[in-house]
Amino acid sequence: MNQLMTNDNAQPRHGSAIRRLFLMALLLVPALAVSMPASAREVTFSAELKPYYGDGAYLALYVTDDKGQYQGTLWVAGGKSKYYRHLRQWARGSNLSRSEYDGLTGASVQSGRTLNVTVDLADKLFDGGYQVRIDSAVEDLRDAPSDVVVPLTRDGAGTPVSGRGYVKSLRYDFK
């Protein structure tokens, strides 16, 4: 039984004191949120594909640390998970665990089109040796692991980086 309750029909003791504390907390939370420094920033990644003949490309957009070790998935483009194994380095790092990409997927990207993905990234990722990578694959064509690798730096925002496979360029911009 609640320690502030005396019996099943009783009202809480010190109710007005609890209400005052609750109201103070409601007033303090917005003030603290405004004064706290941002710990994440909104970033838009734009991956432009080269023109090629073939079906839509499957792309895995993911983060690695300074040693190239997988840290997490940002987005996977391509509707059929049975083809995700062709995104080899991402597949190896993520172990193709559904929890790594559940809710982070969309349609494949057609030749010459651009994939835009906006995510919130922790500030610690910028200028900390982290990289964003894209693995790409197109049915009946070659797979392109680490098609493009972009260091996550504050100065690198807005600068396109050329890919080696199906990705013409990848850039990111802060919102």
Which tens digits make up the pLDDT trace of 53-104? 999 999 999 999 999 999 999 999 999 999 999 999 999 999 999 999 999 9
Tell me if the pTM is above 0.95: no
- The whole-number average pLDDT for the span 41-50 is 98
Q: Which amino acid belongs to residue 161?
A: V
3-state DSSP assignment of residue 43: strand
- Each residue's pLDDT tens digit, 147-161: 999 999 999 999 999
pLDDT band for position 7 (50/70/90)? very low
- Domains, the chain: 1-36 (no CATH), 40-174 (2.60.40)
pLDDT band for position 37 (50/70/90)? low
d(CA 172, CA 97): 26
Neighbours of 61 (CB within 10 A): 24
